[in-house]
Amino acid sequence: MARAHKKRSVLHSHDAARPSHTDAMADINVTPFIDVLLVLLIIFMVVTPVAQKGLDIALPQPPPPNQDTHAKPPPAVVLAVNKAGYTVNKTPVASADDLDQRLRDIFAAKSDKTIFIRADDPDLLYARVVEAMDIARGAGVERIGVISNDLIEAAGGVVNEGDNF
């Protein structure tokens, strides 16, 4: 009798890990996606504290509880600059040295170190206004505001042509 030849298959090592059928997989491999997300998360965690920028502002503070809230605030200091010289609260000042001493005397006792500068003369040199600001800073002024005729009119005030504060 003739022996029937049976086909013998050899089992290779890579055949053991391969499934017997090769149908399409319905599951998505999310491991690489999670790896990328974790790397991005670490990058954002490191970069975010460095990238934060802010602006220092002085917020208004409520008055202390024992202080009268209807009390009249102290008058503002207005420095007018014109071709003739300087005036502080409508009082003329002879020179820059006198202006420095006058502002030091005013702001030595004041807690609010704010000054308003008014310079509306169109023929006035800008350097003269900057010089007045430098003198005010040297005298202890912390905040400088600017007053113009347009601001006065917008606030409902009346601007007199000869009014130099």
For residue 94, the domain's CATH number is: 3.30.420.270
Structural domains counted in the chain: 1
119 found inside a domain: yes
Q: Are 110 and 76 in contact (CB under 8 A)?
A: no
Q: What is the pLDDT of residue 16?
A: 57
Residue 69 lies in a domain: no
Residue 5 forms part of a structural domain: no
Distance of alpha carbon 1 from the chain centroid: 101
Which alpha helices (DSSP H) does the chain contain, by range? 13-17, 31-51, 96-108, 126-138, 149-154
Task: Please say whether the dihedral angle defined by the alpha carbons of residues 61, 67, 71 and 75, taken in this order, is positive or negative.
Answer: negative
Is 66 inside any structural domain?
A: no
The span from the CA of 136 to the CA of 114, in Å, is 10
3-state secondary structure of 164: coil
Q: Which residues contact 146 (CB under 8 A, 6 or more apart)?
A: 116, 117, 118
Kindly state the DSSP code that residue 45 receives in the 8-state scheme.
H
Q: Is residue 86 part of a domain?
A: yes
Strand partners, 46: none
Asked if residue 126 belongs to a domain, the reply is yes
Contact 165, 80 (CB under 8 A): yes
Give the closest residue to 81 by CA, choosing from 71, 66, 96, 69: 96
The pLDDT score that the predictor gives to residue 165 is: 47
Is position 134 within any domain? yes
C-alpha of 126 from chain center? 27
Structural domain range at position 89: 77-154
What's the confidence (pLDDT) of residue 4? 61
Per-residue pLDDT of the chain (165 residues; tens, 9 = 90+): 556 666 666 555 555 555 566 667 778 888 899 999 999 999 999 988 877 777 677 777 777 777 665 666 667 888 888 888 888 888 888 888 888 999 998 888 888 888 888 887 778 888 888 898 999 898 888 888 888 777 777 776 666 655 544
